[in-house]
Amino acid sequence: MPVPTDEPVWWGSLIWLIGVTAVAFGIAWLSGTRLRIRRPWYVPMLFALTAGLAVGYVAWLGVDVSAVVTARWGWGLLAAALAAILLYAPMRRQPVTRHVQGRQLRWELLWEGGVYGVAEGVLLSALPPYITWQMVHALGWTGAGGAVARWGLPIVAAAAVVIIHHLGYWDCRNMILLPITLALSVLTIGFLVTGSWIAPALGHVFMHFEATTHGVEMPPVERPVNAAADRRTRARAVAA
């Protein structure tokens, strides 16, 4: 995994990790719960924020962005394919909530599968473990404890960001968080094993492809209006 020549302070990476976590929750909460922004507008917002965070951190770290993107790309492709195979059956067991076909299906495979998949793969399964790995490296931990930290802490950090991000969506505040976290942890492990950002990014694209073709609606899901509460509000307004 590419490391900087002049090692930045470890707590700088910690601040970046906290910032990434806050942005991951904020974009989900604002779009999916607060402002109810629909996916066609949400996806470019998420992609822009993710790209800004990733490029910003790598630049701050002092590592060449192209070196990070192309590092061990062949192993990254292999890991993404293996992750897609491992996660195929669990994705097929998800309940079907929508049916898309024809031109709409092709558009969603490109936009929600490709663009959305890359953005989430980087934000949730590449950037948090990469930052955490660099933080452990900067601390200079060695031996068995250092090895455990280099592998364990990035997985824990990525899982935490996944959970916090999905808590921003009103429809993900339930047990669905468990399979989501486990599935994305597979991509995180693929990233750590290969050192390639392609593994989680492309692996997440494959997951979104499967979700789209299977008929699973991805967040943010439009929040239904409480009809009963709406009727009571209207009745009070009329009475006033």
Q: Which residues of the chain have pLDDT under 70?
A: 224-240
d(C-alpha 158, C-alpha 17), whole Å: 10
pLDDT for the residue numbered 166? 95
Identity at 190, one-letter amino acid code? G
Whether residue 118 contacts residue 126, with contact meaning beta carbons closer than 8 Å, is answered with no
Q: What is the reported pLDDT for 26?
A: 94
* Cβ-count burial 80-102 (b if 16+ within 10 Å, e if not): beebbeebeeebeeeeeeeebee
Report the alpha-carbon angle 61-64-66, nearest 5: 135
Peptide bond into 220 cis (omega under 30): yes
The pLDDT, as a whole number, for residue 191 is: 97
Task: With beta carbons less than 8 A apart as the criterion, state whether 128 and 20 touch.
Answer: yes
SS3 69: helix
